[in-house]
Copies of this chain bind each other. A is one copy, B any other.
């Protein structure tokens, strides 16, 4: 039982709040009974459970920890005040986990089933990114390719918004140049969206599987990025707003792909 917040193990876990530490170690920090259970159930590569037995009142959570410990999972026990020092919640539930990040290479990103892959250019908001992973999972997308400097899908905010989907969908990251090369060499159909595109997204048929490319929150797709696409479509806007939230726009596109797939 660790009773000091200055313990080296505790300091290493706390440091996972910082992106730099996550990038350097390839680890992330998952907190809360529901989120840890989702990670375990999704087959995430859990390195270590972090438990404050005095806070862990849920019988479900106690059984989860006991079962994992019996199967050989390392469990670190913390005093309640030490757990609170690593917690990012108002009411810590006494359960967290250190999980290894999982990244696919682009060559592992295969277009095998509809709708295919989702590719995001420099998404900046981790909450949006988490919500998008959740929608990708819900619509059966293989995963998300992050192009250029992007929010971290293993950011605690992204993990929370993904509701476990971060551990269920594939994740890859690359430069724009590598993405363009992958698109050309695989011959994948690339579908982009832009406000200015004359083609209405609901009035055209898509060959699936495909790669759905969404621009960044602030700038959308640049002319160069649109030029790589096999088709660029727009989502009509009726009000005074000239754009949708990125996660909403992505969800709307994914469900149009699902509708066409199902022929309804």
- Which residues of A are interface residues toward B (Cβ below 8 A)? 41-42, 127, 131, 134-140, 161, 163-165, 168-169, 200, 202-203, 235-241, 243-245, 247-249, 251-252, 255-256, 258-259, 262, 264
Contact = CB atoms under 8 A, between A and B. Distances in A.
Most chain-B Cβ atoms within 10 A of its Cβ — which of A127, A241, A249, A262? A241
A42 B241 CA distance: 10
Those 10 A-B pairs whose CB atoms lie nearest each other, nearest first:
A140-B238, A137-B239, A248-B251, A203-B264, A131-B245, A202-B264, A252-B255, A202-B259, A138-B237, A137-B241
B244 A138 contact: yes
Given A131-B245, A164-B241, 13 more contacts: A127-B127, A134-B244, A135-B244, A137-B238, A138-B237, A165-B239, A245-B247, A247-B248, A248-B251, A249-B251, A251-B252, A252-B255, A255-B256
A242 to B, nearest CB: 9
A239 B166 CA distance: 12
Given A244-B135, A252-B252, A239 B203 contact: no
Contacts of A239: 136-140, 165, 168-169
A248 to B, nearest CB: 4
